[in-house]
Amino acid sequence: MDAPAGTLIREWRVRRHLSQLGLADRAEVSSRHLSWIETGRSRPTAAMVLRLCSHLDVPLREQNRVLLAAGHAPAHPEHRLGDPPMAEANAALEAILRAHQPYPALVVDRQWDLVTANDALYALLGDLDEELLAPPVNVIRLSLHPRGLAPRILNLAEWRAHLAERLRREHEASGEAAIAALLELARDGRTAPAPSSSLVVPLRLRVGTEAVLSLISTTTVFGTPREVTLSELAIEAFYPADEPTRRFLQGRP
């Protein structure tokens, strides 16, 4: 059974490092009323739940959870990516992936499970252990697995530290248990590498017996999504960090 709505709101307030007074001021409600909501003495309306969640930057999935706990219907729809209402969004994702060729790009969900990718990305994974590529493929686990990409990542300590920092920020923002587990995997008790002078952290990946690719990544999300699935998708696009990498990727069939 889920926690009461007031308890969930208090948990998000604490996660955001806000006092009751601070949240009450932001949401323009009395601190007394907010206290009554958090302690269960007052049942918040759906509008109040959404107002508080908005000021707490609560993810859409979790907003629905708070609404249900308060006895209200979910406010944000959720569909599978292949469902008819998602056709235009799905087409946009596929167009972005195609346009990014010949450079690798992929789409991941909120738990870093692979949703789809372009041919350039699959070409880098084609000779990995088939067991690791059986769906659902978790991109973080695949990257750090000893039978995955880890042995091919020449700057593994630096890349692992980069992933750990990103996962730490994501866990602070979302509270997602699956992200906490991935964060522990990325940390894995290892000492963080010395700070680099690079402007961005590259992924230095050995391909075959000779080629070493140096890639930098960008992350793209849907702007102001109002649907749960879309709000949780991210496009990870990789670009050449040097000219040899550019020539190698542009020269692949």
pLDDT tens by residue, 45-99: 999 999 999 999 999 999 999 999 999 999 999 999 999 999 999 999 999 999 9
* The token pair that represents 250 in the structure block: 């542009």
CA dist 130 → 111, 150, 151 (Å): 21, 16, 16
CA angle 145–166–7, rounded 5-degree value: 110
Instruction: Grade residue 208 by pLDDT with cuts at 50, 70 and 90.
Output: confident
Band (193; pLDDT cuts 50, 70, 90)? low
Residues 6 or more apart whose CB falls under 8 angstroms from that of 122 comprise none
Cα of first residue to Cα of last residue in the chain, in angstroms, is 53
CB 239 within 8 A of CB 218: yes
SS3 (DSSP) at 187: helix
Long-range contact set of residues 72-78: C-beta below 8 Å, sequence gap at least 24: 72/45, 72/46, 73/46, 75/46, 75/50, 76/226, 76/227, 76/228, 76/231, 77/226, 77/227, 77/228, 78/227, 78/228, 78/229
- Identify each DSSP E strand in 83-180 by its residue range: 105-108, 114-117
Round to whole Å and give the CA distance between 12 and 57.
Answer: 9
Query: Tokens for 93?
Result: 């994702």
Which amino acid is residue 114, in one-letter code?
L
Two tokens, residue 90: 């799905």
Note the pLDDT tens digit of each residue in 111-167. 999 999 999 999 999 889 888 899 999 999 999 999 999 999 999 999 999 999 999
Q: Secondary structure of the chain: what % helix, strand, coil (to 5)?
A: 50, 15, 35
